[in-house]
Chain A
Amino acid sequence: MNREEKETRFIERIKAGMKIEATDWMPDTYRKLLLKLIHMHGISEIMGALPEKEWVPKAPTLKRKLAIMAKVQDEMGHGQLLLRVAEDLAEPFGRTREDLVADVIHGRVKFHNVFHMEAPTWADAGVIGWLVDGAAIINQAALLHTSYGPYARVLKRICAEESFHMQHGESIILALAGGTDAQRKMLQDSLNRWWESLLFFFGPMEVTESAQQMIDYGIRTKTNEELRQQFFSKYVPRIRSLGLTIPDPNLSYNETTKRWSWTLPDWEKFRKIVRDNQGPKSQERLNLRRFAHEEQAWVREAMIRSRLKGSVVV
């Protein structure tokens, strides 16, 4: 088969609802689009552990401490699953885990805007679990039917674990919402801080060229705006039911169009945060990742050098 025939057959398989696997032939554009998406997804999980990690040492009860530890562990675990998928896609380029992790330190892969932001109070630990994870769950659930088999399989597991994250986040914010005036204020302030970032998280209104290509390849099936609309439908009534105010006076639901209208935040500001790593916490968190990866390369090297010396466990 020549390349064109292969490509035709590939598209036929996707149209027939068949899954593509790592060892299958795939067009370069498919591989690169997927790799970019999953690489960013995996790295975002790993960078996303950091804002919540700040609250692990400070969690206010033993139960909260255990729960947030488990939550951060899951984020790292999701990063692990996703990076494994990305690594197999990157294999033909001769790139391994080492490269894929180093890429974020050197600005070659981006991570989601929400993980560049500050999380200065305990309420942020709750709002991240509740709304940032809520947004992420909608995004991830929408990808469950992706045409790439290995991605679909890890997403299934990730989504199952996210259901614990939802409960964890809700439990924190419900305690704050039902607490003292100071606790309620802490929660409202946090919502104000996160709202615009949450809107940006779903991506631009317009369907970009690469987004359209991903839809054509069956990598994703929904547009950014469809997912953002679903987020509004699920979360706005719940936010309001707690007596919280959403910091967007124009946010409203149109019964006839069945759509939410919302105020576009300063898109360029957020775009810069992601593109140039210029958010309030971007550099600090990149430095933590640099510490973990580059400054501890000696550990990984040592474990390779000594692997043939004595098997301790098995």
Chain B
Amino acid sequence: MGSGGNDPFTPEGFGGCVKGGEGMSEGNVQEGFGVFEVFVQKTQADFHTHVGSVVAPSPDVALMNARENFLRRDLGVNLWVVPRQCVTATPYDSEGDWFAREFDRKYREAGGYPENGRLWKMYKEKVLQLEEIVEDLHGKGDKNNESASS
């Protein structure tokens, strides 16, 4: 983050990321509040997840208010607020679809190899499951490994 002017995580940089941030006429509320997308991290075993947005005059106020607007019931360990202008997104309804999956991709999924089970049977063995390994290492119902074993 060499060029401070474009660093969205400092108050100075924020001005560059939000319309009306610099040289704004005194007290122009219309131009002044920006939209901040809010991301919540529930536990340190989870990634940050987008939950909604707030409008705020600055990133620190956005962060302060995001806590109560999105975490007044649920617990969390970390919050991000990101000026909306700084998010680059795919379109939903476009000519070239980003998310087309037309042909079989079973070869890259665990469920794509049903014949292994049958073959192992010939050797009087079973398919080895990841869940089994995780369970051996961490015990049943280990929260941190739910995503690893699913």
Contact = CB atoms under 8 A, between A and B. Distances in A.
Do any beta carbons of A and B sit within 8 angstroms of each other in the complex?
Answer: yes
Given A13-B93, A23-B92, A300-B57, A308 B12 contact: yes
Contacts, number: 85
Contacts of B93: 13, 21, 24-25
B92 A303 contact: no
A87 B33 CA distance: 12
B60 A312 contact: yes
A300 B72 contact: no
Contacts of B72: 70, 73, 77
A301 to B, nearest CB: 4
A248 B63 CA distance: 50
A307 interface: yes
10 contacts: A13-B93, A23-B89, A23-B92, A153-B52, A154-B52, A298-B27, A300-B57, A303-B61, A305-B27, A313-B64
B111 to A, nearest CB: 26
A157 B53 CA distance: 13
B58 A307 contact: yes
B30 A98 contact: yes
B29 A98 contact: yes
Interface of A: 13, 21, 23-25, 70, 73, 77, 80-81, 84, 87, 96-99, 153-154, 157, 161, 297-298, 300-305, 307-308, 310-314
B11 A304 contact: no
A23 B90 CA distance: 10
B134 interface: no
A180 B120 CA distance: 74
B59 interface: yes
A307 B30 CA distance: 15
Interface in B4-34: 9-12, 14-15, 24, 26-30, 32-33
A60 to B, nearest CB: 24
B114 interface: no
Nearest to B90: A23
Contacts of B28: 301, 304
Given A77-B69, A313-B64, A314-B60, 10 more contacts: A84-B54, A87-B35, A297-B27, A298-B27, A300-B29, A301-B28, A304-B24, A304-B28, A308-B58, A314-B63
Contacts of A307: 11, 14, 57-58, 61
A240 B105 CA distance: 59
B54 A80 contact: yes
B55 A97 contact: yes
A93 to B, nearest CB: 13
Contact of B91 (A23, A80, A304): A23
Contacts of B11: 307-308, 310-311
Contacts of A297: 27, 29
A300 B32 contact: yes
Interface in B32-50: 32-33, 35
